[in-house]
Amino acid sequence: MRGSGRSRRGAWVGALALAWMLFSVPSTFAAGPVFERAPWFEAFKARADDVALYRFLYAMPKGGDLHHHLSGGAFPEWYWDLALAGEGQGYRYLTKVRINDCGYGTDEFSGQPYLLYFHTISEHRWKGLDSCRQGEYEPLEALTPAQKQAWHDALVLDQPHEGRGEFFEAHWARMDDLLANPALVAELVALNLKHFAAEGVRYLEAQVPLFSLATPEGKPLPPEAGLAAIRTRLRQPDLATLPITFRMQLSVLRFLPNAENALARAYALAAREPDIVAVNFVGREDNDKGYPLRFLAPLRALRREHGALPLSIHAGEVDEPNRHVRDTLLLGAQRIGHGVNLIHDPDTLLALRGGDTLVEINLISNLLLNYVDRYEDHPFPEYLRFGIPVALSTDDRGMWDSTMTDEFFVAVKHFDLSFEEVVALSRASLSHSFLPEAEKARLLADYDDALASFVARFQSGGLGAAAPDAHPPYRGFICRRYGLCPPESAP
């Protein structure tokens, strides 16, 4: 479109066009769909190959990730390095590398299934096993290169036969014990913030595991131990100077028998800790034990006792057309996680249109967990263009081996987003964050400034000017599906 030798006058024209374009983007989330399509972005898409589009989207300033599970958002190599580093705090881990047929009557349906390769457990738990079962495990540091590779692969959905079952029933069990170490949890926060900041994400609201902490000897630790570790880590200079803001959510596994007690504990903690901004419900929705209205009376009682608390709740991440999203709104949710089956509930669609409730869209998650068979079936573009506030988020990106840039790439490529729509997604993610209003306004202003500068650079000098140092870390998802791979590992 425009070469690198663009004139000063041209730059001013570009800046004015940008000002018009930004002004035309709805500054509030209730303004409905965006009808404009900036010609410069349409021209760029028409001539850009996937590499150029990806590089643009990687360098582009982005809003926030509002739907992020800290435990599922961590890449296997982070877990590996941090598990080994845990020895410094007294935590040692072993992983199951063989099955010795140690007797009948094994348990396959608990959080500790017997027939599960690369089930990683603490040394404390290992010492409680009989000698036959102890022989099934090896210390992480003793794994052969092939075993180490398989350990990494076991935490990623990278095979055609893997899907929802592997994710819900195997992945979490494999790493549960790792998350007992408060220092490891704090370091997962640090790594996420650094990687998100590198791709221009400006806010992270992560669901953090604070209720399963324990000493190396297996003695339970209070959630405050995790909070202290995270807060201490956030004050270190490498994080304190990053251009990204962090807040926490607490999640409750919705189908467990004691979920009401867990909810009460989480709600009370969030109500007294300002950096914990919301409570969420997680767990597969096709398990009826966790149906939304189970929590109606408990949440009403908690509001009476502690006051209102923001709620972002998974709902509509299910195949069956049902009223889960509507019922979750009745619980008091300000944000809905996924909302895939909302498309089958016209009354609730109409209720959300032009409103203040945002749906957190997780495109890659929904595909890999088979809630849609192909992106063309995803309701996201209909929500966006029907006027329901939506934002892109990463969910458990460590297990998809993906990034926030990947979500934008999928959205632009498959749904032909206009630049106005791309911007509206980022602005909605900041507008619907659970930050105090003043901080939200500051983040939005910072984002607008950074975006204006990025677009002006792009319009004056193309990708070379807008993204001179952009070296996207192509990860597994984008490499496998789109052939965008690091040079050394082309498919």
| Count of other CB atoms within 10 angstroms of residue 161 | 6
* Smallest separation (angstroms) from Zn ion to the CB of 443: 22
- Pick 362 or 460: Cβ nearer Zn ion: 362
| CB of 348 closer than 8 Å to CB of 328 | no
Alpha carbon distance 39, 32 (integer Å): 21
- Pick 292 or 462: Cβ nearer Zn ion: 292
* Smallest separation (angstroms) from Zn ion to the CB of 164: 13
* Smallest separation (angstroms) from Zn ion to the CB of 68: 8
- Pick 203 or 458: Cβ nearer Zn ion: 203
Footprint on this chain of Zn ion (rule: CB under 5 A): 395
| Count of other CB atoms within 10 angstroms of residue 19 | 13
- Pick 65 or 395: Cβ nearer Zn ion: 395
Task: Name every residue whose Cβ is closer than 8 Å to that of residue 77 and which is 6 or more positions away in sequence.
Answer: 152
- Pick 187 or 395: Cβ nearer Zn ion: 395
Task: Name every residue whose Cβ is closer than 8 Å to that of residue 469 and which is 6 or more positions away in sequence.
Answer: none
Residue nearest to Zn ion (CB): 395
| Count of other CB atoms within 10 angstroms of residue 334 | 17
The helix (run of H) or strand (run of E) holding residue 392 is strand 390-392
- Pick 94 or 206: Cβ nearer Zn ion: 206
- Pick 57 or 206: Cβ nearer Zn ion: 206
The helix (run of H) or strand (run of E) holding residue 414 is helix 404-415
- Pick 339 or 389: Cβ nearer Zn ion: 339
* Smallest separation (angstroms) from Zn ion to the CB of 396: 7
* Smallest separation (angstroms) from Zn ion to the CB of 409: 20
* Smallest separation (angstroms) from Zn ion to the CB of 192: 15
Largest CA distance in the chain: 80
Phi, psi of 125 (to 5 degrees): -65, -40
Q: Helix, strand or coil for residue 199?
A: coil
* Smallest separation (angstroms) from Zn ion to the CB of 314: 5
Alpha carbon distance 288, 274 (integer Å): 33
* Smallest separation (angstroms) from Zn ion to the CB of 69: 6
| CB of 155 closer than 8 Å to CB of 65 | no
Q: What tokens appear for 85 in the block? A: 């580093």
Pick from 258, 301, 302, 297: nearest CA to 279: 302
